[in-house]
Structure 1
């Protein structure tokens, strides 16, 4: 129940829905009190000394190509490859130009699969045909190898497939999956802890789909169990993790203070008070230390999306939501009194923050992006309004109709056009227009994965409180399938969308006008969604879906150093 506004004074009370969201598990003053010894100069000096040693490892010519590839892979998984981006890119370019591997026997699998995965991850064009000999052996049932490390590498490589890579999807992946499962089920050699953990981890979710920073924290622990673990490398990874964590902690203090000063959680007690979780998303989007400003602005965008989403989803009447949508479309602060009282602060903060972002971009990049940014919010609110109308009228859309609206209502296009504007050194009007008109396929793919992962993780809670059907329920209603089959279908859609996104990443290096960093961020948004909704609604109910534990591991607790 709520008090009425002057606009609806003829009604005594309105029945409002509730999201049943719990208060934030985080205390603002506790966040501000976080203090890390790794921000001190002596720690940075120690880190830089170790960094120079690792750089020499990259500079020294390795006895084998495999050693060099495995070093690059370890640097990436340990979260320190950003220190050596140019060097790593040059090494991989040499591999791509000079070496053509053909996997003629089982001993070649590790190097071939690892080279394939690393090259494709970095946007190089490599054909799946390099696995033809292996594929023939798998089909002929003559493949023999008990090297689980190579099989895991082969399995992980298969997730860099595009739509045309049928052999990777239909032959290699099922075979490798079966072999890894057999290994896990039958393996009792506890001396090989590293490979056992890597196998179980791969079965849970492929590396290519995982949130990078969280994977770094996991792999640092796993790498220490590796028999040929490099002490310099692990020491460098640990101290670098802790130093980077201090940057993230400063970001978090900033956005927590901003959120508190908005008073939105007090004025709108029905919305999700999730500023820490909104920041956590941005660490998944772009984690390197030089991008703190981007993380702070993107957290503000995320917080506004969350707030407005809750107004449309659970609180506003249809009439109120139409007024708010019209206000965002007109972008006229002088008409603030047209809105119900509870909506006014939210719109004013949205108006001020987006204009402030636009002003900064105009000052530093000499281009007015505000028309594009405000259109992205109008598009978002219009899709929210469509879903509100569906719910109020009891309408059940088919999967295709649902997704045409839902890939925009999940907010990824809004987030990514803001990201493009603040990330890019030189902003292209051509790209801005394509983003604004929803013509960039990598954005649609990222948004689709985010939407489907969100639906899998949140649909039960949202349906319980009263909400429009999600993709799972739309498929069940449309086809008569069971929930189990519908969820399996959505998982398959996610996999197919990743194939499309992999293709976009591969073509971006040579033919796309989009910055490579933007394409990677779009993919990272998809990865972050599969992290946030892996165990349920990690955004709405962070204590139940491991989000609290993950935030503690990444943003609060440093890694102990020996």
Structure 2
């Protein structure tokens, strides 16, 4: 599982530059949320109003469950209900019922073709998307009926904005070689971008505008649920039970998430990043939001805590390797992490000694809990993932200090590791209980795991496209953009266009790996899908919203952790 760092080519000694003696500064945007969430840190005691809310949620869930399991005149009604439940962020409450309903719809798939609605573009596209999301290998040839005699999509569907939007969303579940969906994506984007706003319904127009920017498959789930609650509220025919449940559930989870982040903020404050690591990014709130994208459900509190702490530590380590350390110091630091012994910190700069101790103490805490639960074997994988991570950091540091611009063939094996995807997945899996076995960790850390490699490609290339200009200004190892430009002698735009194609192909790899039967339990694959969506949100519009925390990420934090949904039901009953 070790990376072949020793095989990385470097210039000859005569070409080497001397180590940088002075410390560099990245001039990161300061944190916006310094102590804001400390006020939410508290014990687990509940108030009487929380009890009332829980009763309301329980009652409303019962009503929605009856809707899901009850008979409906047409399968299309059931599909629309499932879609709304999922998009409102409620699917985790009805997983069993949704599984059963979609399995039944899949079994009656051919009968569904014979119904009167088989030429309804919205219904067919929704059927396709929901079944593919669930892992059913439904054929994209289902859309051939919407083509004309020349094999092009018919002009008759151009005026069907809802249908075009549903087809557009379905296209993001495509596999490799599905030309029908490639054509459909181009067709829908072209016509959705040019819809006549004077004739379209305002709420539908808003949904189109948002979808073109952020398709369902590539969203940060909790953020998209919050946004869809607003869209759904504006629909004249919305279901009050669904809407009320969505708002109450969102606010209930928001309260839990605030408390979790408040307690994490206490831990972070004790680290005192401003004094101990002034060169590093202070991004605890943003990291927590990112991790909410991986698993937001209430039962995954332990996973969120482990993942947030792990990624906060990793962010400091990343900045030590990128910004702070000399090559000699970084080699000693890497050796210390390889040894995993507190005595190994002697001789390191003060800040490296501090983070080294924090790292080992954190792993000791995790190890204690894992041993208590009979899962001590997990700690080996967590340590191995960290060692692999810092080896990649060191390789990139050597490239920078030797002014070496690698070829893409040299760059990717290292850079796909340094992006930290496998480290994040290992951390998130640590708190997920017995579902995560030794075999799962072996699968996760294998270089041949298709879906994990695809996720690493998405993370690395989107990060490079969004952040390469800032990184080159501060002084940083060449990104894939610079490597591609140099190797193939193309412009920056040409390089980014090709890298974006590789990101699109990686998404198709992910879609294919969701097809049943899956290599590991679906609940684990959903963490990969969710992380891919979170990455898309973080690096949307070729902007690194994590580094530039004053941009869209401020809105993300405000939306998910500061402002609750307005709940008329709660006001009436409390």
- Provide TM-score, normalisation by structure 1: 0.92
CA contact (8 A) 2:40 2:259 kept: no
Match for 1:165 among 165, 175, 178?
178
Instruction: Pick which of 483-492 and 459-468 moved more.
Output: 483-492
C-alpha distance in structure 2 between counterparts of 1:418 and 1:471, whole Å: 26
Partner of 2:137: 125
State the 1:29 CA deviation: 5.4
Match for 1:51 among 46, 61, 64?
61
C-alpha distance in structure 1 between counterparts of 2:365 and 2:418, whole Å: 24
Structure 1 residues 480, 38: closer, same or farther in 2, change over 3 A? farther
Residue 147 (str. 1) matches residue 157 (str. 2)? no
State the 1:177 CA deviation: 1.7
Partner of 1:556: 562
Match for 1:396 among 402, 405, 423?
405
CA contact (8 A) 1:38 1:44 kept: no
Instruction: Pick which of 207-216 and 141-150 moved more.
Output: 141-150
Q: How does 1:1-400 map to 2 (within 5 A)?
A: 14-28=21-35, 31-33=38-40, 40-100=50-110, 101-102=112-113, 107-135=119-147, 139-140=151-152, 142-145=154-157, 146-169=159-182, 171-183=183-195, 186-189=196-199, 192-400=201-409
Instruction: Pick which of 415-424 and 254-263 moved more.
Output: 415-424
CA contact (8 A) 2:146 2:154 kept: no
C-alpha distance in structure 2 between counterparts of 1:193 and 1:49, whole Å: 33
DSSP 3-state at the match of 2:137? coil
CA contact (8 A) 2:153 2:187 kept: no
C-alpha distance in structure 2 between counterparts of 1:336 and 1:76, whole Å: 49
CA contact (8 A) 1:161 1:502 kept: yes
Match for 1:419 among 428, 432, 439?
428
State the 1:38 CA deviation: 9.8
C-alpha distance in structure 2 between counterparts of 1:440 and 1:141, whole Å: 36
Partner of 1:475: 484
C-alpha distance in structure 1 between counterparts of 2:155 and 2:54, whole Å: 49
State the 1:138 CA deviation: 7.1
C-alpha distance in structure 2 between counterparts of 1:90 and 1:554, whole Å: 31
Q: How many residues align?
A: 543
Structure 1 residues 441, 358: closer, same or farther in 2, change over 3 A? farther
| Alpha-carbon displacement from aligned partner over 1:342-366 (angstroms, at most 9, x marks no partner) | 2111011111212321332222134
C-alpha distance in structure 2 between counterparts of 1:386 and 1:416, whole Å: 22
DSSP 3-state at the match of 1:382? helix
State the 1:106 CA deviation: 7.7
State the 1:136 CA deviation: 5.2
Partner of 2:571: none
Partner of 2:572: none
Structure 1 residues 202, 38: closer, same or farther in 2, change over 3 A? farther
CA contact (8 A) 1:116 1:126 kept: yes
| Alpha-carbon displacement from aligned partner over 1:428-473 (angstroms, at most 9, x marks no partner) | 3233223334332221111111111211221111111000111222
C-alpha distance in structure 1 between counterparts of 2:386 and 2:37, whole Å: 33
CA contact (8 A) 2:254 2:561 kept: yes
Partner of 1:5: none
- Provide TM-score, normalisation by structure 2: 0.90
State the 1:426 CA deviation: 4.0
State the 1:140 CA deviation: 4.5
Structure 1 residues 462, 161: closer, same or farther in 2, change over 3 A? same
C-alpha distance in structure 2 between counterparts of 1:177 and 1:110, whole Å: 15
DSSP 3-state at the match of 1:558? coil
C-alpha distance in structure 1 between counterparts of 2:244 and 2:72, whole Å: 21
CA contact (8 A) 1:328 1:374 kept: no
CA contact (8 A) 1:283 1:295 kept: yes
CA contact (8 A) 2:168 2:189 kept: yes
CA RMSD of aligned residues (A): 2.2
C-alpha distance in structure 2 between counterparts of 1:269 and 1:210, whole Å: 33
Question: Higher relative CO (CA 8 A, sep ≥ 6), structure 1 or 2?
Answer: 2
Partner of 1:444: 453
State the 1:383 CA deviation: 0.6
C-alpha distance in structure 1 between counterparts of 2:74 and 2:450, whole Å: 39
State the 1:33 CA deviation: 4.7
DSSP 3-state at the match of 1:49? helix
Partner of 1:526: 532
CA contact (8 A) 2:393 2:418 kept: yes
Partner of 1:409: 418
CA contact (8 A) 1:365 1:427 kept: no
DSSP 3-state at the match of 2:344? helix
Structure 1 residues 135, 360: closer, same or farther in 2, change over 3 A? farther
Structure 1 residues 511, 223: closer, same or farther in 2, change over 3 A? closer
Q: Which consecutive residues of structure 1, in runs of 5 or more, have no partner in the other structure? A: 1-10
Structure 1 residues 355, 546: closer, same or farther in 2, change over 3 A? same
Structure 1 residues 355, 443: closer, same or farther in 2, change over 3 A? farther
State the 1:222 CA deviation: 0.8
State the 1:339 CA deviation: 2.1
C-alpha distance in structure 1 between counterparts of 2:258 and 2:37, whole Å: 12
Q: Which consecutive residues of structure 2, in runs of 5 or more, have no partner in the other structure? A: 1-17, 569-574
